Structures are given as structure tokens and as C-alpha cells.
Structure 1
């Protein structure tokens, strides 16, 4: 095993103001980011927490660039872009960092090489950084082999995620030290400059138009095909970018709402969504906004060439009639622009749902609710339907329309919705005092109830 301490002795600390060639965009961006990671306590805590590392007040973070790892005779030294060292007491956790900016993509071969370096030098993890997106840091955008991952954790940060986390800390006044807050603000300013090369997800992959055409024609698609997996992988990146966009708009963290099994296994999520795409000809996602009435559901229907954004809430059970329950919902969005908004009602049992535009629902709520003889209304859904027609198959137009539809739906509907909750139980008027529920009082009450029951059921025999 290689000697990591010797490597650290020859390495340079990450600098806020790196002296590098003008052409070294990656080196400059990596050095500035890692210096902020080590210098701004709250920022380092948030970023490393996403990798499962707890950073308390006693923890120390050090970051290095220009690191070189000798690999033996006849082999070139491996030179990742950076190295992070977290020390908590006697414990040390380390991670190699490999970064790309602009349109440069990570490669499987390079990541797997650094996994081998990590094993040789007893390093715990390899972290990549690029404009590619991952739903969670543990969901790497590349398919790294299980053999390469052996004894080494592999994570991914997108530059947009870095920018979002820094922005959330600044907007929420999450950095106590004024100097550190200034440093973090300068990182945001640096990352948002066009010359840095940080960008969001802006287009679907090349197979997208062909896949949309196949769905409309009813042609069979295989979940195992490269085109389907590439499109689903791109969709997952876009869902993550949507979360980051909403996070910055709402100044709070928005995450994909994933089943537990899919949170732990990126391949399981890819496989499930690929099967759904082939069976239902649609892509779906669920976003969780803190304290919102329900998750935001997104559905991209390839056959209909439409995007549907929706939220579903439980009907208030303290309203007896269906009309009153629907009225409770409509009052929450009475000031919302109804264009493209629909209301869908779900009834108890197998009764079919009913749907109408928001404008129609406002005009005749009783007709939509179904009248007195209709089954009990149990839940209600509000939907924004965007019919994109030919724009749906265009790789960049689809993304721009989606990124406009989701925030628009939340502004017009989502931020106004409140979920119904049962009222808390009230004290009985005859039990407001502690003495009224003592053992003696309850025993007396029980005897009175028994006597009353006996008198009701006792029928005297005729003389």
C-alpha cells in the first residue's frame, strides 16, 4: 500500500486565488471550490454531509490540489484534481476529487483508475465534479463497475449542486462568520460567471426525437436498449436540475421523492423508469418541497406529447357534501390564473374519477362534484397540462418548456395548497377537571351507565 502521508507532504493546499495558466479552467475552479470547502465551516459541513460524513465543531477539513500518486515502476503517476482530508479526533476520512468544467465529460476509465489509486493508498472515496447531474451523490452518472468500487465509495457532485448549496446558505444567513460569508458569496459570483463553464441541463440526448416518434407510432421499445437507458438517464439528470432550480427559487432544499429501494440503488431506479417508459410511454418524477401539501408529480407523456404537473390532496372529512369538499379546494386557488389548470376528483371504491377545467369547476362546482347521489369524494388533484405538440420532440425545447411549467404550477397552485388534517380531539364538558376522570369518578359513571342500561332492557312480568 502506498504512503498517503508522503503524498500529502508534497501536495499544495487548495488556494482561493490559484496561480495557474489561463487555459487551466478546471484547475482554477477546483482549487477555488476546495478552498471554500475547507475554509467555510457551514459549507464544508453541508457538502460532506451529502457524502455521509458528519462534520462537527471539532472536525477539521483540509483540501489539496496538484496531488501526484506514484503507481510503481513503468507506470505514470496518477494526478487527480484534488484531495479532501477530514479529521475528527483520531479518525481520518479521505477522498480523491476529479473535476470537469464546460462540456468536458467524465470517463469511466479515468474514474476507475482513481478507484484503483484509492485502494492502493487507503483512500476512502472518489468524488467527481462536473456539469452532469445525479439525483443523489451516491447515484453516479457513469456506470462504474462493481470491481472498481470494491472497498472504495464513489460519489458525484454537479457544479450546479455546489452553486445551489452555496446560494441556500447565503440566502438563509446560514454562515455565521462575516468573512466566511463573504468568501462563499465570492464563490457564487465566480461560479455564475459564463467563463467558468457551469451550466444546467439544457437538452435531451440524441435518441429523444426517435423515441418520441416510436411511442406515437406504438412501436415496441426494450427497457434494456441503449437508447431507452440513455433517455431515462438524461431524464434523471433533468429531474435533479429541476430540484436545484426550485431550491434556488424557494430558498429551501427541494429533493426528488424516491422509494427507499431506489434511493439506495441508482440502477434499480433506472431499470424501473425504463420499464415504465416502454410500458406506459411516459416519464415520471416526484419532487418533495418542504411543508408543501403534497409532492409535485411530473409526467411527460410521449404519446400525447404533453407535460402534466400535479398535486393531490385528501378531501376534508369534516365537510359532509362533495360540493363542500370541492369548495374547500377551490377557495385555496381562487386567485390563480386558470389557464391550462384542471381539477380531477377521486371517489371512494371503484367509482370513476371526474375532471373539468378550473374555470368550469368555479362555474359549476355541484355539477363536477356529482350531486347528492355521487359516491363519497376522498381526494382531489389539481393539474397543469402543457400540450407541446411538435416542440415535445425537440431536445432543447422540451427541457425549456418543462423548466417553465413546473415553477409556474408551483407559483399558481402549489404554494397556495394546504393539506387537510382532522381537528384535535376536544375535552368533554363533563371531564374538564382532573377529579372528573379519577378512578372513583369513572367507577361511579360506570355504575350509572349500567343501571340506565338495565332499566331500558328490563320488562316487568304481567300480574
Structure 2
């Protein structure tokens, strides 16, 4: 593999790198980049996440231990480079990887931006155990001066593991050898000795902030520790979406408003405001083919985690009893304590709420005084009261990562959205002749005549 001209040094990425035992980052990155070259479907899937077009003829050139002319200092040596060639056009990315507890720094990225700009490299891709909502966002709060130099993307190691797992689980790798290579990559990255890991702990500021809000105190929107807590929440949401993706074998996404996709700092600001104003952290997960989005609320004041899904009530069933029976049949097997059903009523009726167990024993407790009205929406809610565990950095994360999958496994996967029945064709209109203009005109004339006779 020929080295690009702007590289002073650089080794082709290998599946079996010969590196010192202490070089965990170098080993992991070499194997990852080698998978680009040896498993094209994997490389193409990751390029799609960055908005890059690829095809069956796309070629990946990958190098590690790179050194650029005039930048021989230890701090100015990125971990690797990726070159994507599509015919005569090419796109390049400088790669910086961290593993274990090592974290990326703004200073290092700023220096790499200068290198990329000086050598005509299109972008920088960072990889670490830090999480970002989207590859286009970044776990670091990068100043605009850095962002303007070159485009920067980010992948977590868990994201890479998840994408590889999806390709294997969905049988998208046809070549037997390539499939084996990717399976071995998954096995390698999954081993604890590699240093790739999930998000496991809220920041050090979490216990104090959570305890203060629970006691009725206020937190300031501009405080850095509050921003750090919300930033950690965003990282955990990303990790949780990847966990659900691996469990369900289909891509689960955190729903992000369009304005927040374009501006991650605005998302941080708005969610900080929600925490300070409403004492809660919120999220919504989009699960393919599910009856509804899965909503998540961490109520800091109440020290509880709430998961819920909303369903439109079936309009072809007119009574409250019939509509409620339609819902209860769907979750007949659910065994999740502290589950409630909220019924939303038309007009100013507001909402009423009952425990699922109570409704199973006697659904009539939900019947309204006015028999002619019926609920238009149901919300299935599960509440986990964590108590003191809510303020504990690791227990909060572990309980959250248990509560969300449990709700979907017990309830969410069984819910079905109501859909109107297909329109029926009357027997007197089954033929084309039955709807000829002359026939329609005759029917209208007859209806007018009948209406006139009634008035007389």
C-alpha cells in the first residue's frame, strides 16, 4: 500500500499489529482501520454515518503510526489516517484515538486541525470512550476557532462495536472470510482487556447537584457543574441507545430536535434550562416499527425514573370499556410493578390515572360519569423510585440501563398502534358502471327529489 505524499512516516494498518503491550490505543486503532480495508461493508456503513457517499468500488487506504513532514514532535503525531477513494475523487481523515480512561483534549485537537489544514486533509475523526449524540457532534466543547479550521467527527468505541454487531446480526456480510474478520473484531473489542467500555458513571458533581434539587434548592443555568451533568446525561443517552440497538438488532436513536442537530450547544443550553426550571432530565427514543416513541424522564426532585409510551385510542370502539379492553389485552403478560395507565379525555376533562393491577381487577373504575365520552389517548407509564441510589454516580446509570430495557421488554414490544380499517366498497358500487357520471347524476336527482317531498 503506497504511502500518501504528505506523510513522512506511516505503516499500513494491520489486523495483527506488532506493537508494545502498553500500546492499547495503537493496537485497537490498527485493527479497526484494517477492518475498513478488509470488510468494505463495515467501512461503508461508518462512512454513511459521516454523510460520505461510498459504493462497491470504494477503496479504503489506512495507515497508523503516522508522522507528517515538519511535525515530528510527540504531541503532533496523530494515531492514523484514513483515505477513501471513489474513482478519481478522494476524501481523507486524520484519526485520533483514546482508549480506557484516556480522554481527548481541546489543545491536542487544535494542533491536529493545523496539521490537517496544512496537508489538505478534509476532516478529523476522534475515537474514545466518550459519547456524542451524533457523529457530527463532539463530546468536547470545542471553540468556534477550532471548528472553523476543519470538520471534526466523533465515534465512541461502543458505537463501532454496535455497527459491527448490526452487520453480523442482520447478515449483511456475504463473504465468509470478511464475516469472520468482523466477528473477530467484535470479539476483540468486547474483551475487557481492550479498554473499550460503556458509559458507567455520572460526573463528580452529580451527587451534590441531585441532592440540592431534591432538597428544594435551585441550581444556576450558567454553572459549569450543571453543564457537565447535562453533558453526561447526553453521553449516557447515546450509550443507552447503543445498548438498545444491540439488544433489538435494529438501530435505536435518541430523538433530537432539528435545531439541536444543527447546534449541539443549543441542545445543551436548552436541556440545562429544563433541569434548572423543571428539575428533570428528559429524552425520547425512536425504535423502528414500535407503536410509539419511548419517553424517558429522570425526575431529580422526586428521585425517580419514568418510562412511558402513548397510544391513540381506537376510534372504531365507542365506549370507554371497549377502548380500555383493547389496551389491556395488549399488555396482558406484563409483570412490571408500579405501572400505571393514564387516560386522556376530550374537552376539558384532563386526564385520569389508575394502577395497571387495579384496572386488571376492575376496569370499571376508569368509567366516566358521562357515558357518552371516551378517552382519545392512553399513556402507559412505569415509575422506578430510586431513593438514595438516584444521587449515586454509578447506581443511577445502572438503574437507568435496567429500567428502560425492562419497560420495553415487558410492555413496549407488545403495544400496537390503532389504525383505521380499510374503506369498504358497497355492493351497489362494485362495478365501474355503478359509478358512471349518468348513474351518479340520477342518484343525486333522486336524493334532491326525496328531500323536497320531505319538506312539503
SS of corresponding position for 2:208: helix
Question: Residue in 2 aligned with 1:186?
Answer: 184
Question: Residue in 1 aligned with 2:221?
Answer: 223
Q: CA deviation at 1:10?
A: 4.3
Conserved? CA contact 2:132–2:235, under 8 Å: yes
* TM-score, L = length of structure 1: 0.95
In structure 2, distance between residues paired with 1:164 and 1:369: 46
Q: CA deviation at 1:384?
A: 1.3
Q: CA deviation at 1:442?
A: 2.1
Q: Map 1:22-421 to 2 at 5 A.
A: 22-71=21-70, 78-373=76-371, 375-421=373-419
1:54-83 deviation line (CA, Å, top 9, x unaligned): 2111211211112112347x9778311111
Aligned residues: 454
SS of corresponding position for 1:377: coil
In structure 2, distance between residues paired with 1:447 and 1:386: 65
Conserved? CA contact 1:204–1:399, under 8 Å: yes
1:386-435 deviation line (CA, Å, top 9, x unaligned): 11101110100001111111111011100100011111211122111112
In structure 2, distance between residues paired with 1:441 and 1:152: 70
Mean CA deviation greater in 20-29 or 217-226: 217-226
The one of 433, 453, 456 aligned to 1:455: 453
Q: CA deviation at 1:342?
A: 1.1
In structure 1, distance between residues paired with 2:421 and 2:113: 55
Conserved? CA contact 2:8–2:69, under 8 Å: no
Q: 1:76 to 1:238 in 2, by over 3 A?
A: closer
Mean CA deviation greater in 128-137 or 439-448: 439-448
SS of corresponding position for 1:62: strand
Q: 1:71 to 1:259 in 2, by over 3 A?
A: same
Alpha-carbon RMSD across the aligned residues, in angstroms, is 1.7
Conserved? CA contact 1:323–1:371, under 8 Å: no
In structure 2, distance between residues paired with 1:440 and 1:5: 77
Q: CA deviation at 1:46?
A: 0.9
Q: CA deviation at 1:113?
A: 1.3
In structure 2, distance between residues paired with 1:203 and 1:16: 32
The answer on 1:438 being equivalent to 2:448 is: no
In structure 1, distance between residues paired with 2:235 and 2:172: 27
Mean CA deviation greater in 435-444 or 305-314: 435-444
Q: CA deviation at 1:340?
A: 1.8
Q: CA deviation at 1:9?
A: 7.5
SS of corresponding position for 1:67: strand
Q: 1:75 to 1:103 in 2, by over 3 A?
A: closer
Conserved? CA contact 1:71–1:77, under 8 Å: no
In structure 2, distance between residues paired with 1:144 and 1:390: 35
1:21-70 deviation line (CA, Å, top 9, x unaligned): 11111000000001102221211111111011121112112111121123
In structure 2, distance between residues paired with 1:291 and 1:80: 41
Identify unmatched segments of 5+ residues in structure 1. Answer: none
Q: CA deviation at 1:123?
A: 1.2
SS of corresponding position for 1:326: helix
In structure 2, distance between residues paired with 1:352 and 1:325: 17
In structure 2, distance between residues paired with 1:420 and 1:321: 15
Mean CA deviation greater in 349-358 or 27-36: 349-358
Conserved? CA contact 1:70–1:76, under 8 Å: no
Q: CA deviation at 1:169?
A: 0.9
Conserved? CA contact 1:13–1:63, under 8 Å: yes
Conserved? CA contact 2:7–2:68, under 8 Å: no
Q: CA deviation at 1:456?
A: 2.8
Q: 1:227 to 1:56 in 2, by over 3 A?
A: same
In structure 2, distance between residues paired with 1:372 and 1:156: 56
